Amino acid sequence: MNLNSNPLAPTLDYLPEMPQNRRIPIGCIGSGFIMSSCHLLSYQQSGFNPVAIFGRNQESVTTVAKKYDIPNLFFRLEDFLDHPGLEILDISVPPDVQPEIIFKICARKKEKAYKSSIRGILAQKPLAMSLSLARKVVSACEDADITLAVNQNMRYDQSVRASKQLIQSDYLGELILATIDMRAIPHWMPWSEKLHSLSTFVMSIHHLDTFRYWFGTPERVFASTAPDPRTKFPHRDGINLYILEYNHGLRASSWDDVWTGPAREGGAASIGIQYRIEGTKGTALGTIGWPDYPKPTPSTLRWNSTEISDQWICPKWKEVWFPDAFAGTMAQLMVALEKGTTPEISGRDNLETIALCEAIYQSAQDHRVVSLAEYLN
Enter the pTM of the model: 0.96
Final residue in a domain of this structure, among 153, 168, 199: 153
Count of structural domains, the chain: 2
| Residue range 246-279, pLDDT digits in tens | 999 999 999 999 999 999 999 999 999 999 999 9
CA distance 138 to 196: 22
What are the Cα distances from residue 42, in Å, to 6, 37, 167?
A: 32, 8, 27
Looking at the structure, tell me whether residues 218 and 149 fall in a common domain. Answer: no
Instruction: Judge if 258 and 189 occupy the same domain.
Output: yes
Q: List, for the chain, all residue ranges whose pLDDT scores fall below the cut of 70.
A: 1-8
- Residue count of the chain, please give it: 377
**Is residue 14 a part of any domain in this protein?**
no
Peptide bond into 84 cis (omega under 30): no
Of 118, 141, 125, residue with least CA distance to 52: 118
CATH number at residue 307: 3.30.360.10
Domain's final residue, options 106, 125, 153: 153
What domain range includes position 266?
Answer: 157-321+345-376
Residues 192 and 304 in one domain: yes
Confidence (pLDDT) at 225: 97
Say if residue 244 is in the same domain as residue 366.
yes
Q: pLDDT tens, 18-46?
A: 999 999 999 999 999 999 999 999 999 99
First-last CA distance in the chain: 43
Residue 7: predicted pLDDT: 65
